[in-house]
């Protein structure tokens, strides 16, 4: 009798590689275009302030609404993805967000804007846990740092492109077009996602990653493993709590710069177009930082991600505190500074909420863990955009910027508690 080959032996490596490349490319485009209907408001804020006569505090409240909706959505959609899968959820969320951006463009201040932008945040929350689940299903822990580097370049790329596009639209055609045009981009991307994405190797007849790695797999390798397992790997997991609270701190810094840097620079005398263009270089730095952190953690640190994240967060805290000392008129120095800020911010961000979340929670609870961590990040974001506007109006920009620096330092302390942790030790990878 002939021996039965293990699933690992019969896996076609060329076919697997084809689907892995296709998956990463599709996820990249999908999540990059999510940011077209989210980050666009940062470039529109100065024009909205001028036309609508809103204070910075009022604009902070509008922006905060997105993150409140986003926080609630993370809890709902994170669990929904682990239970029902990501493929149909992504296009649904993308189309809803596109429609809400168009509605926002024709709304009037202040309460209608807050309600619509909050709903946009809720449906924006479909993106992160669903794409995290897809990557966790397709890639082993030893590959995830480098794949996350590519995956982590998607939202800096989307942010960069939409800052340039929305800034130009707001300056030349009015702030409403900064929401209408990006909505069209996201709607087209939703169709692309539906046609191109598959949630896991099992969906195309390939063995699951446990079978690829170990030559055998447990039962139910492609299905839901029960709410008990989800709770064990998320809310009952001290490491997930450390990452969640650290991510709260990271988002204080990330959205301080990401939402308010354009307004800060225009207050210092820069034109709207120049401020949007200069701020966009943060995302170029973010792309470079993601690749450096992912490669370093996979190749040189054996998956111990905290050892690259902690130094970056400490550097980010120091850089943030220096922001008021950077002369706005010195374009070269400002560009170099913001590239460094972006590299430290987005590499730390992606490692914590994406790569380390998958490592700690395994692929079976990756979406729920990512959603849980991102829930705390959304709370940090909501507080930051609102409190920054209030502090800038009442005390001055220096106080707000020191709050951004404190967020990065707080995150560094928490991530340091996972200094020796690496993934791949559980039954599920």
pLDDT at position 182 is 97
Between CA 418 and CA 246 the distance in angstroms is 11
Q: Which domain holds residue 339?
A: 12-196+227-418
Q: What is the pLDDT of residue 358?
A: 85
Q: What is the pTM of this model?
A: 0.78
- Say what the pLDDT of residue 2 is: 38
Quick one: what percent of the chain has pLDDT higher than 70? 93
pLDDT confidence of 362, banded at 50, 70, 90?
A: confident
The answer to whether residue 268 is domain-embedded is yes
Cα–Cα separations (whole angstroms), residue 192 to 35, 87, 204, 379, 395: 16, 12, 18, 31, 47
Highest mean pLDDT range out of 135-149, 236-250, 255-269, 292-306? 236-250
350 occurs within a structural domain: yes
Task: Report the 10 Å Cβ neighbour count for 227.
Answer: 12
pLDDT at 10 over 70: no
CA-CA-CA-CA torsion sign (404, 409, 415, 419): positive
Q: Is residue 55 part of a domain?
A: yes
pLDDT at 215: 64
Spell 237-269 as b/e; 16+ CB within 10 A means b: bebbbbbbbbbbbbbbbbbbbbbbbbbbbbeee
What pLDDT was estimated at residue 12?
A: 80
The CATH number for 356's domain is 1.20.1250.20
Residue 8 in this model has a pLDDT that exceeds 80: no
pLDDT of residue 73: 92
Residue 423 domain flag: no
The better pLDDT of the pair 91, 284 is held by: 91
The total number of structural domains that make up the chain: 1
Q: 78 in a domain, yes or no?
A: yes
Is 5 contained in some domain?
no
Residue 179 lies in a domain: yes
pLDDT for the residue numbered 222: 53
Encoding tokens for residue 283?
Answer: 């995302």
Residue 148 in domain: yes
Of 97 and 6, more confident: 97
Higher pLDDT pick, 205 / 102: 102
270-311 confidence digits (pLDDT tens) = 888 888 888 889 888 988 998 899 888 888 888 899 999 999
Q: Are 194 and 92 in contact (CB under 8 A)?
A: no
The pLDDT of residue 177 is: 96
Convert the pLDDT of each residue in 177-230 to its tens digit.
Answer: 999 999 999 999 999 999 999 988 988 888 887 777 766 555 545 566 677 888
């Amino acid at each position: 009798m002939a021996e039965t080959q293990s699933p690992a032996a019969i896996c076609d490596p060329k076919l697997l590689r084809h689907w892995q490349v296709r998956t990463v490319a599709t996820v990249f485009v999908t999540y990059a275009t999510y940011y077209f209907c989210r980050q666009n408001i940062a470039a529109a804020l100065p024009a909205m302030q001028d036309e609508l006569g809103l204070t910075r505090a009022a604009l902070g409240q509008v922006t905060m609404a997105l993150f409140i909706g986003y926080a609630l959505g993370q809890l709902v959609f994170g669990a929904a993805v682990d239970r029902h899968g990501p493929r149909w959820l992504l296009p649904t969320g993308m189309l809803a967000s596109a429609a809400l951006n168009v509605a926002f463009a024709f709304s009037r201040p202040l309460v209608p804007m807050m309600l619509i932008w909050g709903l946009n945040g809720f449906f924006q929350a479909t993106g992160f846990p669903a794409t995290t689940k897809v990557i966790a299903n397709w890639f082993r822990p030893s590959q995830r740092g480098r794949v996350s580097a590519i995956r982590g370049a998607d939202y800096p790329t989307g942010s960069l492109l939409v800052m340039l596009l929305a800034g130009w639209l707001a300056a030349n055609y009015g702030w409403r077009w900064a929401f209408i045009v990006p909505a069209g981009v996201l709607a087209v991307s939703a169709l692309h996602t539906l046609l191109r994405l598959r949630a896991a190797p099992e969906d195309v007849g390939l063995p699951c990653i446990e079978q690829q790695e170990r030559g055998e797999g447990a039962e139910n390798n492609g299905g839901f493993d029960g709410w008990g397992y989800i709770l064990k790997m998320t809310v009952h997991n001290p490491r997930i709590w450390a990452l969640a609270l650290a991510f709260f701190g990271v988002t204080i810094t990330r959205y301080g710069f990401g939402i308010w840097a354009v307004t800060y620079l225009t207050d210092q005398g820069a034109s709207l177009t120049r401020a949007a263009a200069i701020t966009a270089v943060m995302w170029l730095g973010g792309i470079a930082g993601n690749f450096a952190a992912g490669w370093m953690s996979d190749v040189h640190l054996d998956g111990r991600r905290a050892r690259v994240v902690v130094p970056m967060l400490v550097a980010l805290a120091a850089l943030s505190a220096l922001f008021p000392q950077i002369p706005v008129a010195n374009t070269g120095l400002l560009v170099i500074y913001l590239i460094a800020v972006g590299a430290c911010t987005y590499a730390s961000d992606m490692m914590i909420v994406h790569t380390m979340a998958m490592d700690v929670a395994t692929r079976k609870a990756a979406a729920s863990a990512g959603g849980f961590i991102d829930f705390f990040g959304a709370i940090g974001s909501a507080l930051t955009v609102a409190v920054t506007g209030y502090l800038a109006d009442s005390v001055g920009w220096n106080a707000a910027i020191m709050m951004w620096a404190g967020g990065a330092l707080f995150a560094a302390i928490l991530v340091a508690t996972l200094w020796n942790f690496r993934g791949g030790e559980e039954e599920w990878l």
